[in-house]
Structure 1
Amino acid sequence: MKRPVICAALLASLLASAFAVTSAATAENTRSFEQVVLPFIQEHCLDCHDASTQQGDFRLDTLPTVFNSAHIAERWDEVIGRINAGEMPPPNNDQPTAEEIETVAEWISGKIKEGEHARMARRASVAFYRLSREEYANTIEDLLGVHYDAAAPGRMNADPQWKGFERIGSELSLSPSHVEKYLAASRSILDTAYPASVPQSQTWTKDALDIDWPNRGKRDVLQEQGILDDVRTLIWPGHRLSYVEPAHQNYSMPPGIYRAKLTISGLPSKEGRAPHVTIYSPQLDRIIFEHDVIAPENAPAVFEFMTYLEGKVSMKINNEVPGPSNSGIAGRPTGQRVFTTFDNPLSRSPWQRKMTDEEGNALYPVLIFDSIQWEGPIVEAESMAKRKRFAPPAQPTLASVRDLVRRFARAAWRRPPTKQEVDRYLYLIGTELKKGASTQEACKLGMLGILASQNFYYLREGDAGQNRAVINDWELASRLSYFLWSSAPDETLFKAAEDGTLHQPATLKTQLARMFADPKIARFEESFPKQWLQLQKVGMFPPDQKLYPDYDPWLEKSMVLETTSFFAEVFKNNLPITEFLDSDWTMLNPRLAAHYGLPIPASTGFHRVSLPPDSHRGGLLTQASILSMTSDGTRHRPVHRGIWVSDVILGKTPSPPPANIDAIEPNPVDEPRATIRMKLAAHTIHAQCAACHRKIDPLGFAFDNYDAVGRWRTEEFVQHGIGENPPVDASGELPDGRPFQGPEDFKALMLDDAQPFANAFVEKLATYALRRPMTIDDRDAITAIARRSEPGGYQLQDIIRHFVESDLFLKR
């Protein structure tokens, strides 16, 4: 019964100690640990946290009291947090008085604050952050106008992740294989930008017969019949057809960007499912193009897209939707007939499956292919201008080559090079010229050294031998550009850094507004939500096709695209981040609308749509991407959903589970069907599990109405057992005692007190931007940024602006 009083007293004590405004706090901290804290711990804590019990793998009897260690300070801060949350001591134990808690919390908080300067002083004078492969590719494209597919087979390895973030400096180590790949990449990039001979752009066209292999040799016959120009190729659901690549697969495509123009019709099924075209290259191991297609038989759509190609490539076109079969008897092309129109009786054999009903509506989603035209390699004017900036001089002089090296190193290294650095590469170029190399090849060798240098693929902050508290303007330019553009600064940022004005508030505000409006901001709109929300996990556990037969790769991609499109919409319109908790709209395409049971948009692509009140959607928490990645492919996982909400939305990472905890077994065939929630109840019986599950489980139970692929339900399907499927129980109680009856109630509670989410969001934003986990020493700054954004309703662009203007962003 004393808990509310205790919590209030503890909060007051934390505020007082954090700002050190009372002489009483100063006097209290002159007393020793043995006088203030140890008696409290011995009486109230060691029953659960000594050598014999170690509940939650947390020991207090051996926890050091040296607060100049960040790790130790974090552990003591956790002690305060657990006391404040009512976890220590457990409610059924004897409770300390409010005065005792106030005294202990004040002493620990004061010592943590005292140790902050020592912890900051122990940091290295120089910090290095390796570029992620995404950032590497973007930087090359913005520097030289060369598209480099860093994720292609045999190129750069996937970056290690920390809680979804792919740019954490401590995780991105450097190995000899990395150095070799950087060197190989630099050679390839420079050869593409400055080739020995410029490849000529060509045009190729593949028509319907080129991909209809049973009939491709019948052109003369079809010409005699007068129907050659009318021939089209039907692409039945699940049918893959080859030969849509520009040239024969044994032809080596010059590296570069190629433009394609695909002419195709798409007839949705009677149920509204649109056909989905994909073009896949096995050599590149990626889908080059994909799109839902809704276009009448007599009015085909034309899709234009651009892609990077290199070397020998083959491609397959596919209608990637489920269907009854892709055999000849079902519907795919055979050598007996050629397709022209559905109403032409000669287009299909009588024994083949019907494609349309009596009214001419397609019974299955089908594609009708006309042609694909390729052009390339092409170099757009913008890319050519980037390359011309650093083109080797036609009539080289020492001054012109020096200027080239200086300018290229400045752009690549994101800072002015020293005279000694420039001289080193001048010597290398001069040596090659003496050996008889051409000016271009000699200069490319010098540029190769600059690109292969760690100065290019590492961001560096600080100076050796100095312990600067803040970053300089050149470092600030890079921090800004890699935060918002995932790439190097442009010339405008470089100029502000060179002038020494970038750190000035007015300049910073102007540059930020300019960067928001730049097309490169789309990289942030896609990259940040993927890393913040850990969307890389979507599809990690593919759903069981027997349980979820409608699940397909396009649905999986659409789930992620809904979430990233939703984030982009909030950013573009500077909406409040509370829209992430709940909203009356979302971003939908036809595939996802069908999955949610919502009206299907008339056109393809993602559109902002208003949600009906009974849609059970709104915000991020009820999007299929989030709900599916916290499932295991067969069933939802409330604990994993709760952990995700705790970590990503509330910024509280739960402790790992104890070892040797049994997994939840499938329901026995001879017992009544039971929900996962019923089975989880057993975990709360064990003392070692109960404390954490009381906090985690309700956060996941709130979303029990959604199955493993994010569909709404009122009953939980249980594969085995006796009786009916049990009803879903999505009720619960938050750790602070507030009850809820389902996801709508839960989201309403989150909105009632949005400050914890705002703090967590700022923390994730800072982790992404600063390339490091946040620590206890960053907490006050994070809270201040969130509070500064509160009067405006936590609008997203405003939060970013306040963050960039804060000391947290500007300090090392």
Structure 2
Amino acid sequence: MSEAQTTKRALALLGPLVLSCGVSTLVVSATAQSLTPRLASSHSSRPTQTAAAQGVVETTCVRCHNNRAMRGNLSLENFKVSLAADNAAVAEKMIRKLRTGMMPPPGGRRPAEADLLGIPTSMEALIHARAEMNPNPGWRTFQRLNRAEYSRSIKALLRLDVDAAEYLPPDTKSANFDNIADVQLLSPTLMNSYLHAASEISRLAVGDPNATASEATFKVTRWVSQREQVEGAPYGTRGGLVVTHNFPADGDYIFRVSFHHETTGALYGSGRAALHTLEAPEQIEISVDGVRTATLEIDRWMHASDPGGVNLLTEPIAITAGPHRVAAAFIRRFEGPLQDLISPHEWSLASTSIADAYGFTSLPHLRDMAIRGPYAPTGISETPSRLKIFTCHPSLPSEELVCAQEIISTLATEAYRRPLTADNLDALMTLYEAGASQGDFEPGVRMALEGILASPHFVFRFEEPPQTVTTDTTVSDSFVLNELDLASRLSFFLWATGPDAELLRVATENRLSLSDELERQVHRMLADPRAETLSTRLAAQWLRLPDLEKIHPDVRTYPDFDEQLKLAMRRETELFFHNLVQEDRGLLELFTADYTFVNERLAEHYGIPDVRGDSFRRVSHVDSARHGILGHGSILTLTSHAIRTSPVLRGKWVMEVLLGSPPPPPPPNVPELEETAAAENGRLLSVRERMEVHRSNPACNSCHRMIDPIGLALENFDVTGAWRIKDNGAPIDATGQLYDGTPLTNPVDLREALVRRLRPLVGTFTENLMVYAIGRRLEYYDMPAVRRIGSLAAGQNYRISSFVVGVVNSQAFRMKNTSPTSQVEYLGGQP
């Protein structure tokens, strides 16, 4: 669809809805009347020793950070500790490095720890005092629903599971999160995507008794093992895939399964090394909601050149409308280990490309499954979506309008996240009448629902400034969010979807902003299962878990690694963090916990006995090296290369993700580690030995002295996170010295050294929590609030809820500047 066509369609469908948004809503950044009440603060100024701190800066820091050397592109020759509040941007950089212990760097002259920490202590007190006099909550534009929020909002509104990736383009990330407002760009293509999604989803939700046959294809990722059972598939099966598919109407559907074939066109898994040569032929079963609906027998002689190719079709199968779980999986024909000469590869791609050789057992592999239909539709059954939508059923034509109004107003109030205005309802009823005139009651409701889902009120998260505005652009001020906007911020923060009925009711009654009520709602929402999004979205993005999708350890070196193991690793970390939220545990357990969550596949990988089945359960770690997040396979795998571990990636991950202080990028023209010598005297070098060769380059040495000891402390974990004692035949040497001089010999030493300096860990977690909560990157003027939240959490044993309550009570969460220019006025400092 062209840009002009997209705009025309949008205006035709949404014209009255767009107008009902109002100019003051769309132009969120308009300057407004000053509204800057003081929110409660726990900070109180402390005595400072600025003179002593200034002396340390001049005798230690300026040795490298001067006008001539300009280490780190920073000169402190003219920096005055007493004026830290006037140069807060630079001061905050210094505070971060000094609190982590990264400055002075390894090898440099290091004053006493108390003298070093006197610098950040003095500057923090001065910056906090100034921030109290001139609060700056920051500014951001309005947000739109990203993929994850869109899917969850549809689920809450219509009880319909949809994959937003089928409709919306990928979300742009900033600060590692996908909900940052200023990178959520709008375009005609994106607009068309929302319109298309509204049309398709409204049709699926209401159902279509006149639906024409169409085909949906689901591909098996090439990394999924076809030897083991896939999660969700029936017991006694292997391989295949499991999907949830929304069937548009009651009727007959045909299922097609396609198999991998060799380059010759012959079915893969049909040769001399195949189990297919047994008397019982291979079979694949199709099941719907756990009930077997078809069994297909695989002809070992099928060929890609056959009229039907390497595909099998079922007879038409009667299925009702709505979401159903569909599985296509092979019936397992063998038990016990395969007696292969070498370990069989688990990855489908590897098996089909290199495993068809003597010494391997080969099996047929599923490539994709397609669902085609409906044929001869017979109507629409009562689906969860229809039960949610149709709260009334008119028996007479005269009752249809009243019933439609009830349905539409209920849905729109929930979707718009605020009470419906008369103009809103009139616009939607116009759409209903247009749909009803072409069919009957249900098509009218469907048309109105499409309008709701395409409305700016649903797609965008507007935050209303005060009604009184000023045209004076020199005014730099802020305002408190109204109750409904506060409810939306809170629900998208904790649930990644809109407010529920109770939260909306409390906001409508103007009680949500009361401190006691707000805290009560926070605890209620954290106890709700929907708060799992704090693990699957906040923690996952903070810890870089999505990067696991890009990691594929070498199949010849790690033949047991497959997609099922990778998914189990990610799920372990998500469940681990979710447990901290649900049980309101202390943040320190993220680093020190002696327990984790595993299923049978992951327990086998870790060497944990007596765990059976796909379900995850809590287990205790006997080995202290596995304690906390640094022992998780997800972290250890995503910080490795395909064929070897990477102390650099692991050290960089700890510095950036946990400590919030990433190392600088490598200098240009420095060779990668793979390009250095890999063998010596006929023996392959260990990773540590190769690192030492790499560090012989003076351009690399200074940074690697800081990064490498962290990663080397984790060197006993291989690429897949399994424990080892040798690397290329050489005993693992994990010894080193942390940047602050602390000796390291193993993962336990590293963990204890990190926890000993608690402020950076607490501060980094708080920063990421705030970024995710408010939808913008943090700036130097946000740091006083970050430290205040950490200080309050310390008084409550760093319980997760104390951080969340601190963020929700912060000015950055509850207030907003009236314009972008407001935030550069902070204390006379530079942005």
How far the C-alpha of 1:582 sits from its partner, in A, is 2.4
Q: What does the per-residue CA deviation read over 1:706-759, in whole Å, with 9 as the maximum and x for residues that have no partner?
A: 111112112222xxxxxxx33222122333332221002222333444443233
What residue in structure 1 maps to residue 270 of structure 2?
A: 327
SS at 2:463 equivalent: strand
How far the C-alpha of 1:804 sits from its partner, in A, is 3.4
What residue in structure 2 maps to residue 731 of structure 1?
A: 735
Matched, 1:189 2:201: yes
Q: Supply the distance in 1 between the matched residues of 2:570 and 2:544 (Cα, whole angstroms).
A: 10
Matched, 1:479 2:517: no
How far the C-alpha of 1:194 sits from its partner, in A, is 2.6
Matched, 1:460 2:462: yes
Q: Supply the distance in 2 between the matched residues of 1:425 and 1:518 (Cα, whole angstroms).
A: 32
Question: Measured at CA, do residues 559 and 401 of structure 1 come closer, stay the same or move farther in structure 2, by a change above 3 Å?
Answer: closer
Matched, 1:716 2:716: no
Question: Measured at CA, do residues 772 and 491 of structure 1 come closer, stay the same or move farther in structure 2, by a change above 3 Å?
Answer: same
SS at 2:596 equivalent: strand
What residue in structure 1 maps to residue 151 of structure 2?
A: 137
How far the C-alpha of 1:421 sits from its partner, in A, is 4.3
SS at 2:716 equivalent: coil
How far the C-alpha of 1:537 sits from its partner, in A, is 0.7
What residue in structure 1 maps to residue 615 of structure 2?
A: 605
Matched, 1:697 2:703: no
Matched, 1:647 2:656: yes
Q: Assess if the C-alpha contact under 8 Å between 1:69 and 1:119 holds in 2.
A: no
Q: Assess if the C-alpha contact under 8 Å between 2:676 and 2:694 holds in 1.
A: no
How far the C-alpha of 1:494 sits from its partner, in A, is 1.0
Q: Assess if the C-alpha contact under 8 Å between 1:44 and 1:96 holds in 2.
A: no
What residue in structure 1 maps to residue 312 of structure 2?
A: none
In structure 1, stretches of 5+ residues that fail to align are 1-17, 29-35, 200-249, 256-272, 279-288, 319-324, 341-347, 718-724
Matched, 1:388 2:390: yes
How far the C-alpha of 1:645 sits from its partner, in A, is 1.0
What residue in structure 2 maps to residue 450 of structure 1?
A: 452
Structure 1: which amino acid aligns with 2:182? S
Q: Assess if the C-alpha contact under 8 Å between 1:277 and 1:293 holds in 2.
A: yes
Question: Measured at CA, do residues 378 and 699 of structure 1 come closer, stay the same or move farther in structure 2, by a change above 3 Å?
Answer: farther
Q: Assess if the C-alpha contact under 8 Å between 1:545 and 1:551 holds in 2.
A: yes
SS at 1:179 equivalent: helix
Q: Supply the distance in 2 between the matched residues of 1:148 and 1:446 (Cα, whole angstroms).
A: 19
1:629 counterpart (634, 638, 641): 638
Question: Measured at CA, do residues 779 and 313 of structure 1 come closer, stay the same or move farther in structure 2, by a change above 3 Å?
Answer: farther
Q: Assess if the C-alpha contact under 8 Å between 1:695 and 1:735 holds in 2.
A: yes
Q: Assess if the C-alpha contact under 8 Å between 1:186 and 1:452 holds in 2.
A: yes
What residue in structure 2 maps to residue 261 of structure 1?
A: none
Matched, 1:176 2:176: no
Q: Supply the distance in 2 between the matched residues of 1:502 and 1:69 (Cα, whole angstroms).
A: 34
Q: Assess if the C-alpha contact under 8 Å between 1:715 and 1:728 holds in 2.
A: yes
Question: Measured at CA, do residues 368 and 23 of structure 1 come closer, stay the same or move farther in structure 2, by a change above 3 Å?
Answer: closer
Q: Assess if the C-alpha contact under 8 Å between 1:159 and 1:166 holds in 2.
A: yes
Q: Supply the distance in 1 between the matched residues of 2:794 and 2:91 (Cα, whole angstroms).
A: 29
Q: What does the per-residue CA deviation read over 1:47-93, in whole Å, with 9 as the maximum and x for residues that have no partner?
A: 6565x76544556799999x9999x8434421454467473699758
Question: Measured at CA, do residues 394 and 755 of structure 1 come closer, stay the same or move farther in structure 2, by a change above 3 Å?
Answer: farther
What residue in structure 1 maps to residue 473 of structure 2?
A: none
Structure 1: which amino acid aligns with 2:588? T
RMSD over aligned Cα, in angstroms?
A: 5.1
Q: Supply the distance in 1 between the matched residues of 2:406 and 2:773 (Cα, whole angstroms).
A: 33
What residue in structure 1 maps to residue 820 of structure 2?
A: none
Q: Assess if the C-alpha contact under 8 Å between 2:205 and 2:385 holds in 1.
A: no
Q: What does the per-residue CA deviation read over 1:241-281, in whole Å, with 9 as the maximum and x for residues that have no partner?
A: xxxxxxxxx964799xxxxxxxxxxxxxxxxx995234xxx
Identity %: 27
Question: Measured at CA, do residues 99 and 492 of structure 1 come closer, stay the same or move farther in structure 2, by a change above 3 Å?
Answer: closer
Q: What does the per-residue CA deviation read over 1:545-575, in whole Å, with 9 as the maximum and x for residues that have no partner?
A: 1221222221211211221122233333333
What residue in structure 1 maps to residue 5 of structure 2?
A: none
Structure 1: which amino acid aligns with 2:490? L
Counterparts of 1:212-611 in structure 2, within 5 Å, are 252=214, 276-278=228-230, 290=232, 293=235, 306-308=244-246, 314-315=256-257, 326-333=269-276, 337=280, 382-389=384-391, 395=398, 406-426=409-429, 438=440, 440-442=442-444, 444-463=446-465, 465=469, 467-611=477-621
Q: What does the per-residue CA deviation read over 1:662-683, in whole Å, with 9 as the maximum and x for residues that have no partner?
A: 2212434445643333443466
Q: Supply the distance in 1 between the matched residues of 2:759 and 2:709 (Cα, whole angstroms).
A: 20
Q: Assess if the C-alpha contact under 8 Å between 1:68 and 1:116 holds in 2.
A: no
SS at 1:608 equivalent: strand
SS at 2:141 equivalent: strand
Structure 1: which amino acid aligns with 2:89? E
Q: What does the per-residue CA deviation read over 1:615-670, in whole Å, with 9 as the maximum and x for residues that have no partner?
A: x3222111111001001111111111111112222232333333333221243444
What residue in structure 2 maps to residue 770 of structure 1?
A: 774
How far the C-alpha of 1:128 sits from its partner, in A, is 0.8
Q: Assess if the C-alpha contact under 8 Å between 1:473 and 1:497 holds in 2.
A: yes
Q: What does the per-residue CA deviation read over 1:191-215, in whole Å, with 9 as the maximum and x for residues that have no partner?
A: 222345388xxxxxxxxxxxxxxxx
Greater mean deviation of Cα atoms: 489-498 or 682-691: 682-691
Q: Supply the distance in 1 between the matched residues of 2:592 and 2:696 (Cα, whole angstroms).
A: 34
What residue in structure 1 maps to residue 136 of structure 2?
A: 120
Question: Measured at CA, do residues 378 and 512 of structure 1 come closer, stay the same or move farther in structure 2, by a change above 3 Å?
Answer: farther
How far the C-alpha of 1:304 sits from its partner, in A, is 10
Q: Assess if the C-alpha contact under 8 Å between 2:744 and 2:750 holds in 1.
A: yes
Greater mean deviation of Cα atoms: 461-470 or 40-49: 40-49
TM-score (norm 1): 0.69
Greater mean deviation of Cα atoms: 691-700 or 185-194: 691-700
In structure 2, stretches of 5+ residues that fail to align are 1-42, 218-224, 261-267, 284-298, 301-331, 345-360, 471-476, 817-831
How far the C-alpha of 1:135 sits from its partner, in A, is 0.8
Q: Supply the distance in 1 between the matched residues of 2:128 and 2:541 (Cα, whole angstroms).
A: 31
Q: Supply the distance in 1 between the matched residues of 2:528 and 2:408 (Cα, whole angstroms).
A: 28
SS at 1:409 equivalent: helix
Equivalenced residue count is 673
Q: Assess if the C-alpha contact under 8 Å between 1:68 and 1:118 holds in 2.
A: no
Q: Supply the distance in 2 between the matched residues of 1:543 and 1:396 (Cα, whole angstroms).
A: 63
How far the C-alpha of 1:337 sits from its partner, in A, is 4.6
Report 1 or 2 for greater relative contact order, CA contacts < 8 Å, sequence distance ≥ 6: 2
Q: Assess if the C-alpha contact under 8 Å between 2:270 and 2:277 holds in 1.
A: no
1:706 counterpart (688, 703, 717): 717
TM-score (norm 2): 0.68
Q: Assess if the C-alpha contact under 8 Å between 2:647 and 2:715 holds in 1.
A: yes
What residue in structure 1 maps to residue 355 of structure 2?
A: none
Q: Supply the distance in 2 between the matched residues of 1:612 and 1:728 (Cα, whole angstroms).
A: 21
